[in-house]
Amino acid sequence: MVFLRDRFGRTVTNVRISVTDRCNFRCSYCMPEEGMQWLQKDKLLSFEEIARFVALVAPLGVHKIRLTGGEPLMRKELHRLIRMLRAIEGVDDIALTTNAFFLKEQARDLIDSGLHRINISLDSLDPRLFAEIARRDYFQQVWEGIEEVERLGLRPIKLNVVLIRGVNDHEIPRFAELARSRGFVVRFIEFMPIGKDDGWTMEKVVPTTEVLQRINAYAPLVPVTRLDHKTPADTYVFADGAGEIGFISSVSQPFCTDCDRVRITSDGKFRTCLFSLHETDLRAMLRGGASDQQIIASITDAIEKKEEGHLINRPGFVRPERTMSQIGG
């Protein structure tokens, strides 16, 4: 098999596909309350175009897919896309990252269509603080969505918590307790400078080492994967066996050296890093009559030039023009 390899020897096995830039939340670390410009519907890749892209990269070793956005469940009949991707030979892992607002009504269709795994964003367990962070009073709907996938038996259910110092870091023990009592995998994500008007400063980042200390003081953790940069999330379990916690240390301990992922935006721009300053316009090729070979050549060329790593908190750091919601988180 010919793999997609970059000049640093990393192999791409994983693609994050954004299906929309739109969102019904306004998380303060992600986008402003007003003024977001949404893409016109005809600019979005169709399900058929996405499936063609996946069918081209799957034989080259890309077997893991994550659907994201914006809010992916705002894309009509997302379960249809899951079914189409599921049918592509070589694809063996389809995951979804969602704010869960529409999950209760869609969970059954998503699972029946072949969804393997789910990550749900949940930044506070306090409905009032949740409403402040998301700028929407939707805690109840989100919680019902989480309980629905739990009831339907999808596992693991991962809960993503973006920690912001002085905002929600006092809830670390509550989230740890949730991981212990309910079997959700709680993943603490370091706040990154990738939102629009996100107010990011290094002081607001709660580094993984600190979160670990704070949880250890409450109940001791032991590593499953060590903090060795091999996977985005470093996983720990509680020493007494109850519960699992993940850490995504994008700022304090970047995992770029082992990065195995690429992204495609909802308008069909191929990106080799969340923080790339360069995109390859695959939509133009998909719609312009390009042959499979020409599209594969563009993808391999872009991957060959994949960045060594991001430069957050280093002098050369430049924010990409698009936000995480526009790129696909």
Among 28, 97, 124, 265, binds ligand SAM (CB under 6 A): 97
Contact by Cβ (8 Å): 277, 290: no
Backbone angles phi, psi at 97, to 5 degrees: -115, 125
Residue 221 lies near ligand SAM (rule: CB under 6 A):
no
Among 20, 121, 124, 276, binds ligand SF4 (CB under 6 A): 121
Residue 21 lies near ligand SF4 (rule: CB under 6 A):
no
Q: Which residue has the tokens 């790129």?
A: 327
At its nearest, how many Å lie between ligand SF4 and the CB of residue 266?
Answer: 11
Q: Of 30 and 282, which has the nearer Cβ to ligand SF4?
A: 30
Contact by Cβ (8 Å): 29, 200: yes
At its nearest, how many Å lie between ligand SF4 and the CB of residue 68?
Answer: 8
- Residue nearest to ligand SAM according to CB distances in the complex: 329
Structure-block tokens of residue 40:
């016109």
Question: DSSP class of residue 37?
Answer: P
Structure-block tokens of residue 92:
């063996």
Structure-block tokens of residue 296:
């594969």
First to last CA, the chain: 29
Q: Of 159 and 176, which has the nearer Cβ to ligand SAM?
A: 159
Q: Within 13 Å of residue 94, how many CA atoms lie on the same side as its CB?
A: 24
Length of the chain: 329
Which of the choices ligand SAM, ligand SF4, none does residue 191 contact, using the CB cut-off of 5 to 8 A by kind?
ligand SAM
At its nearest, how many Å lie between ligand SAM and the CB of residue 193?
Answer: 7
Residue 232 lies near ligand SAM (rule: CB under 6 A):
no
Instruction: Give buried/exposed letters for 195-225 (b at 16+ CB in 10 A, else e).
Output: bbebebeeebbbbbeebbeebeeebebeeee
Q: Which residues bind ligand SF4 (CB under 6 A)?
A: 23, 25-27, 30-31, 69-71, 99, 121, 325
Which chain residues interact with ligand SAM by CB under 6 A?
23, 29-30, 68-69, 71, 97-99, 121, 160, 162, 189, 191-192, 194-195, 198, 324-325, 329
